Amino acid sequence: MALLVYLLFLFMFPFCNKAQGPPSPGYYPSSRIGSVGFHHGFTNLWGPQHQNLDHGTLTIWLDRTSGSGFKSLNPYSSGYFGAAIKLQPGYTAGVITSLYLSNNEEHPGEHDEIDIEFLGTTEDKPYVLQTNVYIRGSGDGNIIGREMKFHLWFDPTQDFHDYAILWNPDEILFFVDDVPIRRYPRKSDATFPSRPMWVYGSIWDASSWATENGKYKADYTHQPFVGKYKDFKIGGCAANAATSCRPIPVLPAPLG
């Protein structure tokens, strides 16, 4: 029954962007992947002076001088990648807080990318969660279906919530608290990422487009802008894994 509810949800609400909470899928992938300590899975990428690790919680922040980012120690060819994230309240227009997969450093100008991005906002409006899929540098919506935006059914500044990407050879799923909010199926080799990617997180100034297409900019009288991450999850096949490594399925195998 749980699997039936899950499949019905994917069929009926593949692009759900309403503010109310969708039904429970009855399947909780985050519970199947153990957490890893930050230094066991990641390292600083840039802005080390704007990162602080305290009892398993990583805080990164943006001010006038710099933002900050981190990167997984290894690239992956498939897997489940997530973290619990808590966002900054108040005025955060122009600021992006993110968790994503990319191979931009390996393939500059022709990279693949799978994004979860939180678009900063003004004090009277909620955050927007944006998902992106890029293939070989292309995010053309006519080909790939680049950007899809969602309003969450909770305030992401009040507590930590789980956000994750499940990427396997057949499809990509985006999860919020184990609820699938977007399904991106493999339709052709040209529209689906297959090259290894690293896992990243960052906070940075995207004033030119982040909030209402750049209408509202980052205002550094509100600095620092802070993002908090914990319960990092990496479960999948590293790029150099043995051929016996099997991608994580979207649904668990039947019992018995």
Catalytic residue among 105, 106, 110, 113: 113
Query: Please, what's the b/e burial string for 237-254 (b: 16 or more CB within 10 A of its CB; e: otherwise)?
Result: bbeeeeeeeebbebeeee
As a whole number, mean pLDDT of residues 154-182 equals: 95
As a whole number, mean pLDDT of residues 181-197 equals: 92
Round to whole Å and give the CA distance between 80 and 96.
22
As a whole number, mean pLDDT of residues 66-91 equals: 97
| DSSP label at residue 238 | E
CA angle 173, 233, 183 (to 5 degrees): 5
Please, are residues 180 and 9 in contact by the beta-carbon 8 Å criterion? yes
- Residue scoring higher pLDDT (244 or 176): 176
Catalytic residue among 105, 117, 123, 212: 117
- Supply the pLDDT for residue 24: 57
pLDDT for 171-182, tens place per residue? 999 999 999 999
Whether residue 117 lies in the annotated active site: yes
Round to whole Å and give the CA distance between 84 and 139.
27
Whether residue 113 lies in the annotated active site: yes
pLDDT for 33-52, tens place per residue? 999 999 999 999 999 999 99
